[in-house]
Structure 1
Amino acid sequence: MSLSLHDTTHDITHDIAHGTAHEAAHATAHRTAPEPAHKTLPGAATALLEAYRPATDRFLATPHRTLLGRGTAATVPHDSRPAAARVREVLDGLRRPGAPAPVVVGALPFAPDAPPALAVPDTVRWAPPLREDPLIALPVPHDGQRPEWAVREVPAPERYGEAVAAAVARMRAGEFDKVVLARTLELTSPHEPDLPAMLRRLARRDPAGYTFAVPSGPGRTLIGASPELLVARQGGRLTANPLAGSAPRSTDLAEDVRRAVALLESEKDLHEHAVVVAAVREALAPFCASLEVPERPTLVRTAAMWHLSTTVTGEIADPGVTALDLASALHPTPAVCGTPTEVARAVIAESEPFDRGAYTGMVGWQDADGDGEWVVTIRCAEAEGRALRLFAGAGVVAASTPQAETAETAAKFRTFLHAVGASL
């Protein structure tokens, strides 16, 4: 699956220098996604971004659209039925003849038995994607005051490294194939964080990604900027974009190219990526009349990371299958949990001294027609009062080292640390 240095160096250099690598990686998904519900003037997307207010609003920007939901018309209950069935029931109950299809927006957690944070807003405003809005390039006004953050790493880096080493030893003994181990940064400040300003900085740092801010529980807000689409459905077509295998970016162009090429040729990362793509294929195939899976991964870049990426597309066999049906069949992928899934879940519970909550769950939207987009909840934090908890994880396989995985999580933290004005 690897590509040679000769084949890739020129193309990667060109993409980095001209700023097109990330956009090219999303091109197929963008072609298959629906247009925003209403055509609007330039500046409409940034207007929704500027209008976001915590507690009452739900904001989501994707490479295809921007939405802002305000208020709560209904919430999705928590019971033993599949989440997709509960969402379908709520949305069907709100359908009105001649009115637009109602929309549910929010997040589902990593743990299958934990309550969701899904609601139908009173109003939903739509706009084109942020990446197409010329005003997104304008800097966020700053009052000159840098927040004072106290930062605590949980677990400490050395403890995280020990957990990685223990998992590697068990994999080499044949117990399981992969596990994703995460760690957190607990940030506290004398004042409540300015969540709208954080959201604006996250969106401007990567306007072609998936930026979100939604209530995640009483007094809590989930906020972040994920690079990874779990699955989108538009009519009879689906798109999934699994990411697995990562490398930190460099501010030096030559070094950035070297890291990108090394990632494309890394046996460890290519194997990790292939495991995830195989799982996605297996999960989606039963729903599809046809499924297209490229043989080789490409690169997606964020401001902090390079990722191996594969865009999977398919034609859905049953028109009654919704976006959340598909997302639930995929969740959790080996990219956020591991394989075999139940063994990996057990290792995560033994190794991580915190509750993941919404981290590595999914966040997104779905309308009453079954169309929607669900994103893997990574590069995120949960805000509550004067505290923020940031999350980052790394895929651990038999070839992993504690030093490399600790460095990878540190690099992934940078997306959010930049938004909050803190450092590690």
Structure 2
Amino acid sequence: MSTAPEVATHVPVADAAHPAVGAATALLDAYTPGDRFLATPTRTLLGYGTHTEVPHGDAPLNQRVDRTLTAARDAGHPAPVVIGAVPFDQTAPAALAVPRDLRQAPPLTADPLIALPTETPRAADWEIRPVPAPEEYGAGVARAVKRMWDGEFSKVVLARTLELSSREPLDTPAMLQRLARRDPSGYTFALPTGPARTLLGASPELLVSRRGDRLVANPLAGSTPRSDDLAEDVRRAAALLQSAKDLHEHAVVVDAVHQALAPYCATIEVPATPTLVRTATMWHLSTTVTGTLAAPETSALELGMALHPTPAVCGTPTDLAREVIEETEPFDRGFFTGMIGWGDADGNGEWVVTIRCAEAEERRLRLYAGAGIVAASEPEAETAETAAKFRTFLSAVGAEL
């Protein structure tokens, strides 16, 4: 565990009603590898250095985080906040820490400078290797579909990766700039997960947030690629809202979120039908679940751990879906389909599903994308969906499939 410095600093978020022009983009511009950057629809955070790391251990993660935040406050930190990433496998070590210094600003969307264009990615001689190959991924989808028709389970999320290698060192600050400016209303992050290793991405999906006694969850499931042609883009959005396959997939996830959160709530509201959320590359079915906590001591992270993993990133039933994932995917997911976010000593926080992401290390990038597989899934369509999801990150590095 790191030793606390003599003085830790915390600069509160600026007045959201009168945000300073350039406040949020200044934090984006100041990011360097090793810092902790997180931009959400409520705030922009940049953490420097490490005051205290959250230790690995047998106790539940939310309890270890609570103890870490309490210890940091007792050691003189004025307003400790934990920031970082939790892996898909909850038994694996997380990458969470209280930064030594924390700067906050309003959300990127409140800063008009976010609309300024970023530099076009430099031409790079990328070597791209899919793992597994597209045809192998499609075969895995077909096997899963057959097992569902045989009645073994109802859904599994299967992922594939792209391994990108460059002759030059990676420019992670430039990648972060392009991700943030392309989808400033989402959740953009760059977080250290190991020596010289960074998890970065732009996720559209809030797992859960808590502010006071109010919680919000925003499950996304069921998606379709966007089109550059406006008429075709609208047609695809309308078709997604009427797709029996995607509506079923979405309903399974929403029901799981409802069931997981209900025990923590005095009241909970779940809309009967989904709406649409769009990113630069995808349309998603979306439902916003809101609730009032029954116990004020329940933290955002405790709620996140109760939800994680949802059927949107794993499947149902969960244990069997995990087994299918382990049997089918020829790689370790690591932090992909885990959660990233922040939490404070009062239990407030935002935790986000770790999708549309990559891990960067020296001259290598590993990109991840997954698709929800149900009995009506077709291997070719699911392979195409994962290819479309890769576009978020490929565009940020100037690479193409």
TM-score range, shorter chain: over 0.9
Aligned-partner Cα distance in 1 for 2:235–2:287 = 21
Amino acid at match of 1:45: A
In structure 1, what is the equivalent of residue 41 of structure 2?
63
Match of 1:174 among 145, 148, 151: 151
Say whether residues 1:287 and 2:254 are aligned partners.
Answer: no
In structure 1, what is the equivalent of residue 21 of structure 2?
42
Say whether residues 1:352 and 2:312 are aligned partners.
Answer: no
Amino acid at match of 2:362: G
Match of 2:314 among 325, 337, 347: 337
Say whether residues 1:107 and 2:90 are aligned partners.
Answer: no
- How many residue pairs match? The answer is 387
Give the CA deviation at 1:217.
1.7
Aligned-partner Cα distance in 1 for 2:333–2:375 = 24
1:174-228 per-position Cα deviation (integer Å, ceiling 9, x unaligned): 0001000000000000011100000000000000000000001222100000000
Match of 1:82 among 45, 48, 60: 60
**1:241-260 correspondence runs (5 A):** 241-260=218-237
In structure 1, what is the equivalent of residue 177 of structure 2?
200
C-alpha contact 1:391 1:413 (8 A) present in aligned 2? yes
In structure 2, what is the equivalent of residue 265 of structure 1?
242
1:365-413 per-position Cα deviation (integer Å, ceiling 9, x unaligned): 0011110000000000001110000000000000000001000000000
Amino acid at match of 1:319: P
Q: TM-score under structure 2 normalisation?
A: 0.95
1:153 counterpart SS class: strand
Aligned-partner Cα distance in 2 for 1:360–1:223 = 13
C-alpha contact 2:145 2:377 (8 A) present in aligned 1? yes
Residue 357 and residue 411 in structure 1: after superposition, are their counterparts in 2 closer, same or farther (change >3 A)?
same
1:144-199 per-position Cα deviation (integer Å, ceiling 9, x unaligned): 73122100000000000000000000000000010000000000000111000000
C-alpha contact 1:101 1:369 (8 A) present in aligned 2? no
Identity of aligned residues (%): 70
In structure 1, what is the equivalent of residue 136 of structure 2?
159
Q: Unpaired segments of 5 or more residues in structure 2?
A: 1-11
In structure 1, what is the equivalent of residue 118 of structure 2?
140
C-alpha contact 2:51 2:72 (8 A) present in aligned 1? no
Amino acid at match of 1:132: A
Say whether residues 1:116 and 2:98 are aligned partners.
Answer: no
1:391 counterpart SS class: strand
Give the CA deviation at 1:96.
4.8
Residue 99 and residue 158 in structure 1: after superposition, are their counterparts in 2 closer, same or farther (change >3 A)?
closer
1:85 counterpart SS class: helix
Aligned-partner Cα distance in 1 for 2:321–2:215 = 27
Q: TM-score under structure 1 normalisation?
A: 0.90
Aligned-partner Cα distance in 1 for 2:195–2:59 = 23
C-alpha contact 1:280 1:330 (8 A) present in aligned 2? yes
1:68-119 per-position Cα deviation (integer Å, ceiling 9, x unaligned): 0000001001111111000000001111599643100000000121100000
Say whether residues 1:324 and 2:304 are aligned partners.
Answer: no
1:306-359 per-position Cα deviation (integer Å, ceiling 9, x unaligned): 000000000001011000000000000000000000000000000000000000
1:95 counterpart SS class: helix
Q: Unpaired segments of 5 or more residues in structure 1?
A: 1-35
Amino acid at match of 1:386: R
1:113 counterpart SS class: coil
Aligned-partner Cα distance in 2 for 1:184–1:145 = 23
The CA RMSD over aligned residues, in Å, is: 1.2
Aligned-partner Cα distance in 2 for 1:177–1:97 = 49
Aligned-partner Cα distance in 2 for 1:272–1:252 = 27
C-alpha contact 2:155 2:316 (8 A) present in aligned 1? yes
C-alpha contact 2:223 2:285 (8 A) present in aligned 1? yes
Aligned-partner Cα distance in 2 for 1:97–1:205 = 40
Aligned-partner Cα distance in 1 for 2:326–2:55 = 26
C-alpha contact 1:110 1:356 (8 A) present in aligned 2? yes
2:152 counterpart SS class: coil
C-alpha contact 2:14 2:20 (8 A) present in aligned 1? no
2:64 counterpart SS class: helix
Aligned-partner Cα distance in 2 for 1:326–1:305 = 27
170-179 vs 37-46, greater mean Cα deviation: 37-46
Match of 2:71 among 69, 78, 93: 93
In structure 1, what is the equivalent of residue 4 of structure 2?
none
Aligned-partner Cα distance in 2 for 1:282–1:84 = 20
Aligned-partner Cα distance in 1 for 2:355–2:191 = 14
C-alpha contact 2:20 2:111 (8 A) present in aligned 1? no
Match of 1:401 among 374, 378, 381: 378
Amino acid at match of 2:83: V
Say whether residues 1:385 and 2:362 are aligned partners.
Answer: yes
1:166 counterpart SS class: helix
Aligned-partner Cα distance in 2 for 1:98–1:319 = 25
C-alpha contact 1:323 1:374 (8 A) present in aligned 2? yes
Amino acid at match of 2:102: V
216-225 vs 353-362, greater mean Cα deviation: 216-225
In structure 2, what is the equivalent of residue 313 of structure 1?
290
C-alpha contact 2:122 2:398 (8 A) present in aligned 1? no
